[in-house]
Structure 1
Amino acid sequence: MRILVTGGAGYIGSVVAARLVEAGHGVVVLDDLSTGHRDAVPEGCTFIEGGIREHAAAALATGIDAVLHFAAKSLVAESVARPDLYWGGNTGASLALLEAMRAAGVGRIVFSSTAAVYGEPESVPIREDAPVRPTNPYGASKAAIDAALAEHARMHGLGAVSLRYFNVAGAYGGRGERHTTETHLVPIVLQVAAGERGHVAVHGTDYPTADGTCVRDYIHVADLADAHLLALENCAPGAHQVFNLGNGAGFSVREVIDACREVTGRPIPHTDAARRPGDPAVLVAASDFARSRLGWAPARPGLHEIIADAWAFHTTSSAEPAAGAAPA
C-alpha cells in the first residue's frame, strides 16, 4: 500500500513510518517540523514539509491508499493555557484531513488517540467502554476527533481505528524521544542520569499505591508501532473501532527511577514534591480487545528493556542522527 503518515517526523510517527517501510509499503510523510525532526524521517519515504490544511489534498492525490494520523499538539499544560491551539491544531486540522480524504476517495485511517480522553477513570484497568470524560483541552480535542471519525464512518463508509495509548517509551531504529519541552517521566529521568538535569521531582508520595507514588502503564514504542500496522489491516469500511494499548500492568514513579538507576549504573537524585492537581493514582490499560481482535500483544513488556533502549538512544542520538528521506 501507499500510506500517508501525518506527523511522521515525530517520535511515534517516525517509528511507525520506519516499520511501514520495513514491511514493504510506500510511505509519504507530511510534517510541518514544529515539533518533529527532519532527520527522523526514514530513508525510503517521500517527505512533504508543511501543514495538513495546506498540503493534505496534494499529498493524498499521489495515490494514497490509507492514512496514519499522528500530527497533533500534545502538551496538557499548554492546552489549558492555549486551548485555541488544540481545537484548531488538533480538531480543526483533523476535520480538514477527513474532508480531503473524502474528496480523494481514501477510505482508511488509523488515528493516534490518547488515554487522556478518559480523564480520571472510575476503575482500572481501563476498558474501551469506560466513560469519555477528558479533563483538559488536549484530551477533549482528541475525543472530538474520535467522534468525528465515528460520524464519517457512519455517513461516508470510512474505515477508522482509534488507538488510545498511555505512556510510550523506548526507541527503535535510531529514533526516540527528542522533545523541546519534555514532560515524560522516562526521558526526564534519563536526562538526570546524563547530567543534563540536577534531579527528578516525584510529584506525590502519599497515593494509595504500594510505594505511595503514581502508577502508570508503559509500552515500548516498537510494540505500539506494530499495533498500528495491525490496525491498518483491520480497518473495516463503515466502522469506527477503538482499542486501548498498554502492558496491562503498571509501574510506579519510584520503580521507574530505580530501573533507570539499574540500567544506566548512575546515581539519579530525586526530590519529593506535592501532588499535581488531577493526577490519578493509577492509570493502567485493559488491552484484551486489541489482543483478541487485532492479534496484538506487547513483545517487549519489561520496564528494563524499554529503558535500556531509551538510554541507548539518548546517549548516541546527537552523534548519530537517523538517515533522512528524500523531499517530495
Structure 2
Amino acid sequence: MTLDGKVMVTGGAGYIGSHAVLALLDAGQEVVVVDNLVTGFAWAVDPRATLVEMNVADPRLADVLREHDVKAIMHFAGSVVVPESVADPLKYYGNNTAATRSLLASAVAAGVPHFIFSSTAATYGTPVRVPVAEGDPTVPINPYGMSKLMTEAMLRDVAAAHPMNYCALRYFNVAGADPEGRSGQSTVGATHLIKIAVEAATGKREAVSVYGTDFDTADGTGVRDYIHVSDLAAAHVAALDLLVERPGESHTLNCGYGRGFSVLEVLDAVDRVTNRTIARRMEGRRAGDPAALVADNRAILAALPWRPARDDLEVIVRDALAWERRLAERQGA
C-alpha cells in the first residue's frame, strides 16, 4: 500500500468496520477509528488503532481529519436493518444519507482524496436477473436500500466536483468472524441469519424464524449470497490500493461469491457443523425482502487482485460459531 497518510474508518467499532480495521493494520496501515459507540464496542477496536468517539455528522470531524493526516475514509457507520428501515424510514435517511452528506462535507473541507463506501445489494431492490450485475437497474424496495443508493449518487457528484475518487462496495450477505478470533458479530438482537442460527446453536435462542416459505425459489425460502467478513475486509484494502494507484477513477463493485444459498440450506449447514438440529419456526415474509439476491462478481475480480479465501458456507458457519462461543465466555466473565 502506498497511501501517504492515515485511513479513517467510521463505524470501526462495529461488525464489518472492526474487521476492516484489522485488515488495514495487518497490511501496515495507520488507522483512526471514528465511532459514536451507540451500536459498536470500544473493546472491538484493535489497540493498534486510534479511537475517536464522535458522530460522523459532527462538523468538527474536519478538524479530526486534518489533525490525523487522513488521506482515505472507509465509511461503515450507519443503520442496517431492512425491516426497521420500513418501520422508521426517517432514521435511515438521517443516519445513512444525511450523516454521510455531513461526512463528505468534512472530507472535502479537509482535502481527503479517497473514499470507500459500505453500500449494499439492497440498492438493486428486486433484481431483474440473478445473479445481478452492477449495471443492472437500481430500484430499491426498502428505505435502507434507497438511503444507500442516495449516498452513491452523492459520492458520484462529489467526485465530479472535487479532487476525490471513491469505491462503492455493494455487499451481499456478510457473515462469519475473524478466523483468529479477534472480532465478530457482537450486536445484541442482530438480524443476520447465520448470527441468529449460531445463537440458537449455543442456547441463546430457542429457535430460528424462517421468514417466508413461498418465495419463487427451489425450496420456497429466500436465497442470498453469503460472503465471509474477512474476505470482505480484504476487498476493502484492495479497493483502497486501486484508488491510490488510479486517482482519476472511481468504481462501484459487487462484493459476493456469485453463489446463493436458501435459508433452509444455511440452517442445514449449521446443523451439520454443530451436529445438532436447530428448531425452525416458519413465519410470513418480512416487508422489503426480495426472493433472491446473488452477486455477479466478475467486475470485482477483474478490477482487483482480490480473491476469496474463505468461500465455503461451512467455514463461514464455523468461524461464526467459534466467535459466538468466545463472546459467551466474554459475557460470562
TM tier, shorter chain?
over 0.9
Alignment deviations for residues 134-174 of structure 1 (CA, whole Å, 9 cap, x no partner): 11111111111100110111111311000001100000042
Aligned with 1:164 (options 162, 170, 173): 170
- In structure 1, the gaps of 5 or more residues are 322-328
Letter in 2 for 1:212: G
Q: In the alignment, residue 301 of structure 2 is paired with which amino acid? A: R
Amino acid at match of 1:224: L
Aligned residue runs from structure 1 range 1-328, under 5 A: 1=3, 2-54=6-58, 55-61=60-66, 62-172=68-178, 173-235=181-243, 236-320=246-330
CA deviation after TM superposition for structure 1 residue 238, in Å? 4.2
Task: Work out whether residues 186 and 327 of structure 2, in 8 Å CA contact, stay in contact via their aligned partners in 1.
Answer: no
Name the CA distance, whole Å, in 2 between partners of 1:243 and 1:192.
Answer: 33
What number of residue pairs does the alignment pair up? 321
SS of aligned partner of 2:9: strand
Q: Distance in 2 between matches of 1:99 and 1:279?
A: 33
Conserved 8 A contact 1:113-1:142: yes
* Residue 241 of structure 1: how far off its partner (Å): 0.9
Provide TM-score, normalisation by structure 1: 0.94
Q: Which has the higher contact order (CA 8 A, sep 6+)?
A: 1
Residue 216 of structure 1: CA displacement?
0.7
Instruction: Quote the residue 1:326 is aligned against.
Output: none
2:51 match: secondary structure = strand
C-alpha deviation, 1:240, in angstroms: 2.8
- Give per-residue Cα distances to partners, 1:61-80, cap 9 Å, x unaligned: 12111111101111222222
1:153, 1:238 within 8 Å by CA — same for their partners in 2?
no
Letter of the structure 1 residue corresponding to residue 63 of structure 2: A
Matched-pair identity in %: 46
> 1: CA distance between counterparts of 2:20 and 2:97?
22
TM-score, normalised by the number of residues in structure 2: 0.93
